[in-house]
Structure 1
Amino acid sequence: MVFFVAQGQNVKLLKGKVIAPGEDVTGVTIQNVSTKKATITDFEGNFSIEVRELDTLVFSAVQLKRKILPVTEPIFNSSFVRVPMQAFVNELREVVVLPYNLSGDLNTDAKAMNVAPVTAESLGLPNAHAKIPTQSERKLMQASYGKFNLGMLLSPPLDPLINMITGRTKMLKNRVAVDKKYAKTNAVEASIVDSLFLSELKIPKRKIADFMYFCEVDDEFQQLVSRKDQLLLWEYLLRRSKLYRENNELE
């Protein structure tokens, strides 16, 4: 076990692995909010990051629920830690689990706190893995193909042709694209603790939604979200927040 000494405190390279069954654990961002250092997991979920006792680590990814891990004495003295994470399966803006009554043993605490979500997959329902179209996607399908009925087999509907001529189909396609961008932006916003917006990005809480829209309309933001590279995305947000503050006289 290797320790360093920095300003009178022991600093250790903590090694561990993020575990999220059925989910991609590549590129999960680990931020030490106490020292302002960060790293990301490899394709197997492994990571290493310098920590001190009582530091706080924040684990985040678009597809996973954020996890806050205080570096307690047992964790600091561990040679290897396993960090369980859950899939992001709801639309709640933020869920923060306060570290009360925790033993410091990740395996014990995870069993006590980790409740498997009830989903269509866990209930074994038919078509559980089928993607549910959004309202905009349903309107686009209806405009393109019309409502199905047995008469369509004998006489094709005229509505799709009329919608194409009037431009309604194109308008609905644009709306679907906008909805997808908005969903990605919401996922990124939900993966960041509000306190990091204030302390690191220096964005006031009342301006967070406006700042995220400022990022959403930028092609680079959309490309980084699609790549799922959390570290590059965080670097982008730092750069973009500086420009946003200058444009809005928040400096």
Structure 2
Amino acid sequence: MTKSKVLPWVVILFTTCLSGQTLLSGRLEGRVYSANADVAATHVLNTTMQRATITDENGFFSISANLNDTIVFSAVQFKRKEIVVSADMLKSKMLSIPLEEALTELDEVVIMPYNLTGNMSRDVERIGTDKEVVTASTLGLPNAYAWVPTKAERELFEATSGSGLLPLNPILNGISGRTKMLKRRVARNNTYARTQRVREMYADSLFRIDFQIPQDKISDFMYFCEIDSIFQSTVDTHDRLKIWDYMRKRSVTYRENNNLQESSKD
């Protein structure tokens, strides 16, 4: 058989293989939905390929999949849903996956009187605390350690990534100073977010009563703590009593610097 006759058969065979591969593998794109519950950050796990992702705030997702792979959808507020990838699913441009809410009946809770004093340090010691923290990882949820970048982190990634033999994006952003600016913004946002999480651990009344910080000065006091390097290392311990003790000592200096008297209690 001559080359001119063999070539068309090679092209047909190659095209057939590509078509078959397209039918057997690809990406599943779709959206999960529910009548009442929030579908954002629902875990999507391909248990066959060991790939995972999470849905965006509107429930949309995209994940690699092959024919007959098992895809699992799960979240605390939903019942676990499992599907097996079919050829029709791979050919579909957009899947719609309904999720059923998980109704959990709680055990009876008995509230015991603790004769609280209002002083957090003494009350925590009196009550006692459970050191085990309930998180997505301690609950064993799939994709519990998935990192969801912030807007500033996404902008920094876009500014420092590129493709091709000579990636221009990171070079131009480095020259213009945009990369340094975005790095500072990410660092600043991370520090601010950490400080906000610390403030949310305690009621404002505790700042006013225990620390004698006026309500309108609490945010300024938190910034006063934030700029101290010891505060950052103390927060990293995740020990609420240690953090509280640090801020109690820091509040003395803050009141002295701002001429706040003990009579400033609300």
TM-score under structure 1 length normalisation: 0.50
Bigger CA radius of gyration: 2
TM-score under structure 2 length normalisation: 0.47
Give the structure, 1 or 2, with the largest relative contact order (CA under 8 Å, sep 6 or more): 1
